[in-house]
Structure 1
Amino acid sequence: MISISMCMIAKNEESVLKRCLDSYSGLFDEIIIVDTGSTDNTKNIAAGYTDKIYDFEWTGDFSEARNFAFSKASCDYIFSADADEVLDDYNRNLFMRLKSVLLPEIDIVQMKYVNCSHNTVYNSKKELRPKLYKRLRTFTWISPIHETVRLQPVIFDSDIEILHMPQSSHSKRDFSIFKKSIDNGTHLENYVLRMFCKELLISGSDDDFEEFYDIFTRRLIYEYTDNDCLEAISCVLARMYRLKNLSDDFFKIALKNVAVSPCSEICLEIGDYFFNKNDISEAVLWYINASSETESVLDIRTSGDIPLRRLAQCYTTLASEAVAHGDDVLADTYNNNASEYEKQADNWKMPEEL
């Protein structure tokens, strides 16, 4: 049976840490907690489970903190944990079974991260994430002829489900780290930039879009050439231009997207533009495009319940206008449409897995 070090970085996690460590109890051969500056009871709670508690001065870089935690591990494999995770009894048994049968050639085990919060940037209820890593990886030669060293890790996708149960959103914290990194001249990896755009689009306030306006318009749009990154940046810029009432810039970027590869995020933004101009009929057209004619690239809800609720709002507005003009028959039709779209939105479910 393999041995496993659990590594966690934590700061002010007294409200969830005991719940997490209790659920993982008995699975690991050592538990390593790296505290990045707690001012609450986090370290005292951790001391009830391990004596391997280390202080690490927070630098605004999660990778540095996790690398430090990994450097303290001594077992065959390392499990990377967060304090807001929970493992139920069924998945504890799966984890223990995995520990007893894991083949030594496996470098990484992925587990299903299950979203248990409405405050999220996930696009599905479950997503595979790498969670268990071989501490020391051996390089081996492969192929009987034209031999080469295997460079790609051997990854196993397990059925273990880890419940992610945060008590609050971390978006503001994440935004500050993004901003500090960019201000320091750090070039973000493509997937990190896309995640940044996703978080901003889903959970950012109008003030957040204002704060990052110069960064997007003067830097990021020129630094990234990857098509997926440019598409993500375009979605954020469309929102920024709409909020600032820069119609020419807004339609320049929105129409380019519609002409090349339309996505539901842009269609939703165009719908919002016309709705705010009180051009309800035009807004309806674009909300329909968002809900049923295009696919999302960052936020799956932009092709799901969000445009459906916008459509319900549009038809409620049209019904009120019809009543004002004395057309009760048309008002009833619009109200029925509004009810139907509201029902569709209520019945819309986030995919289990993508």
Structure 2
Amino acid sequence: MVTISVCMIVKDEEANLSRCLNSLKGIADEFIIVDTGSTDKTKEIAESFGAKVYDFEWTGDFSEARNFAFSKASCDYIYSADADEELDEENRGRFLKLKEDLLKLDIDIVQMYYCNQLAFRTVYNYDRELRPKLFKRLRRFVWEDPIHEQVAIDPVICNSEIEIIHRPAENHAGRDLESFRKAISEGRYLSKRLHNMYARELMMAGTKEDFIKARSFFEDSLKDNNRSIDEIKEACCVLAHIAVIADDTKTLLKCSLKDANTEMSSEMCYELGEYYYGQKDYDEAIIWFFNAAYECESILDLRKSKELPRLALAKCYRALGNDEQAADYEREAAEVEKEE
């Protein structure tokens, strides 16, 4: 049976850590806990499980902290975990079986299902997603092909049926948004994936202040010829939201037209609905909220095509004195939310 190092970076996780480590007992051969500045009992809890605890000064870079944790591992494989994750008994059994199977296989990375996302309003719009979670610590390099031989450099990846339950005790959006701002202030260029994650985090959990602080970055995205159509649409949605806050009709028009160059997003329709609702033009607001709910698809925040525009439609009909229609949309919003 292979050995497994569980590597984690933590801060103030006393509410979650015991549950996570308990679910990994018998699977982990060592716990590597990298603490980035806890002021609660996180480190004491980790030590009670026999973990090797290391202090790491937080730099605002999650990759640096993860790499430091990985550098301390000594087992065959490294399992990268977060404190708000856990395994139930069925998936503990699957993981133990995997440990046996890996002894016979040459696998570099094992993917597992990350579950329960929608229940806690995370930045992801899906409830079950395969993610790389288990990594071979030392990789063998071998030559392949009988002629024009080369070293095999593509990792061998397998998908498992293991499901990890994500159960956060709090929303980390504020921390994550600050990390985005720090990276941008240091002159780092956000990749397409991070551009999407920044826009998504803002649309799903950002405060008014978070949006204002993000404005110049997304304005620059619109001028960046290297940004894709998807990134331009993401930037337009963020800037449209800021325009509605600031009652900036010119910017709202510019962003909505750019978004409409391709299929219009639910987020943009929703912002237009909010704008007209603020102008007390309820009939026009209804058109755009209806489009958000029934005619378009979301690109950042799934709820902007689900319960939120339906609740907004109810709000408009109540303002028009049509309580019966409003109640219908409220019921539909509740049903859609349950489906998620």
- Tell me if both proteins adopt one fold, taking TM over 0.5 as the criterion: yes
**C-alpha contact (below 8 Å) 2:233/2:258 kept by paired residues:** no
1:170 matched residue in structure 2: 172
Q: 1:52 to 1:285 in 2, by over 3 A?
A: same
Q: 1:108 to 1:349 in 2, by over 3 A?
A: farther
1:106 matched residue in structure 2: 107
Q: TM-score, normalised by structure 1?
A: 0.90
Query: How far does residue 148 in structure 1 lie from its aligned partner after superposition?
Result: 4.7
Query: How far does residue 193 in structure 1 lie from its aligned partner after superposition?
Result: 1.5
SS in 1 for 2:133: strand
Query: Which aligned pairs between 1:70-85 and structure 2 lie closer than 5 A?
Result: 70-85=70-85
Task: Write the letter of the residue equivalent to 2:309.
Answer: P
Note if 1:337 corresponds to 2:325: yes
Note if 1:300 corresponds to 2:288: no
**C-alpha contact (below 8 Å) 2:109/2:134 kept by paired residues:** yes
1:202 matched residue in structure 2: 204
Q: Tell me the number of residue pairs that the alignment of Structure 1 and Structure 2 aligns.
A: 337
**C-alpha contact (below 8 Å) 1:79/1:132 kept by paired residues:** yes
CA distance in 2, matches of 1:22, 1:179: 35
Note if 1:290 corresponds to 2:292: yes
Deviation above 6 Å: which 4+ runs of structure 1? none
1:88 matched residue in structure 2: 88
Q: 1:135 to 1:273 in 2, by over 3 A?
A: same
Residue-by-residue CA offset, 1:269-291 (whole Å, 9 max, x unaligned):
11111111111111111111111
Task: Write the letter of the residue equivalent to 1:92.
Answer: R
Which is worse superposed, 194-203 or 243-252? 243-252
Q: 1:303 to 1:149 in 2, by over 3 A?
A: farther
Residue-by-residue CA offset, 1:234-291 (whole Å, 9 max, x unaligned):
1111111221111111111112212322111111111111111111111111111111
2:156 matched residue in structure 1: 154
Query: How far does residue 153 in structure 1 lie from its aligned partner after superposition?
Result: 2.2
Q: 1:162 to 1:312 in 2, by over 3 A?
A: same
Query: How far does residue 30 in structure 1 lie from its aligned partner after superposition?
Result: 1.1
SS in 2 for 1:346: helix
Q: 1:142 to 1:266 in 2, by over 3 A?
A: farther
Unaligned 5+ runs, structure 1: 321-333
Q: RMSD in angstroms over aligned alpha carbons? A: 1.9
Which is worse superposed, 138-147 or 275-284? 138-147
SS in 1 for 2:131: strand
Note if 1:132 corresponds to 2:134: yes
1:40 matched residue in structure 2: 40
Task: Write the letter of the residue equivalent to 1:273.
Answer: Y
SS in 2 for 1:18: helix
Q: 1:303 to 1:147 in 2, by over 3 A?
A: farther
Residue-by-residue CA offset, 1:323-354 (whole Å, 9 max, x unaligned):
xxxxxxxxxxx3332222111111114777xx
**C-alpha contact (below 8 Å) 2:4/2:78 kept by paired residues:** yes
Unaligned 5+ runs, structure 2: none
Q: TM-score, normalised by structure 2?
A: 0.93
Task: Write the letter of the residue equivalent to 2:86.
Answer: V
